[in-house]
Each structure stands twice: as C-alpha cells, then as structure tokens.
Amino acid sequence: MSKICDLTGKHSIVGNSVSFSNKKTKRRFNPNLHVKRFYVPELKEWITLKVSTSALRTINKKGISAVINDVIKNGKI
C-alpha cells in the first residue's frame, strides 16, 4: 500500500530524528491518509479514494465533483 494521496499527491518525506545528544538518525514523515468512500452524484456510484486530511477539508468545502474535475484538469491523475 503506497502512502500517496490520490488527489493531492502528498507522499512520504525523509528527515532526521534528533536525540537529546543531537545524534541524528534517518526517519520517514508519512502523510495523514485515510481510505474513504465518496458518492459522486453525476456518475451515480461510489468511489473509494485514499486521501489526506487536507484533501478531505477541500472536499468538504468544494464538493467531490469539483475537486475531481480540478485534479483531472490540472493533469494530476
């Protein structure tokens, strides 16, 4: 299961875990992803997407149809 948001394209990044003695070891910062089902009224069907919480906020604000159209128009899918 890849850790990439289907709508925004957010993915894991690499950084350092820093101890009290300032010793640095590599670690990963994963995005906050959730698997959600959305009903698309134009298609009259349910779709399942793996989305980040920021994408969920955008969907709540604009609606799923508008967000999907923006992603397709910008060429992210």
Predicted pLDDT of residue 48: 96
Q: Is the pLDDT of residue 75 over 90?
A: no
Is the separation of the CB atoms in 77 and 8 below 8 Å?
Answer: no
Pick the CATH number of 13-74 from 2.30.170.40, 3.40.605.10, 1.10.150.130, 2.40.50.140: 2.30.170.40
Predicted pLDDT of residue 26: 98
Task: Look up residue 25 and give its two tokens.
Answer: 């070891």
Predicted pLDDT of residue 74: 86
Q: What is the mean pLDDT of the chain?
A: 93
Query: Distance between CA atoms of 69 and 65, rounded to whole angstroms?
Result: 6
Percent over 90 (pLDDT), the chain:
87
Instruction: List, for residues 9-46, the tens digit of each pLDDT value.
Output: 999 999 999 999 999 999 999 999 999 999 999 999 99
Which residue has tokens 């992210």? 76
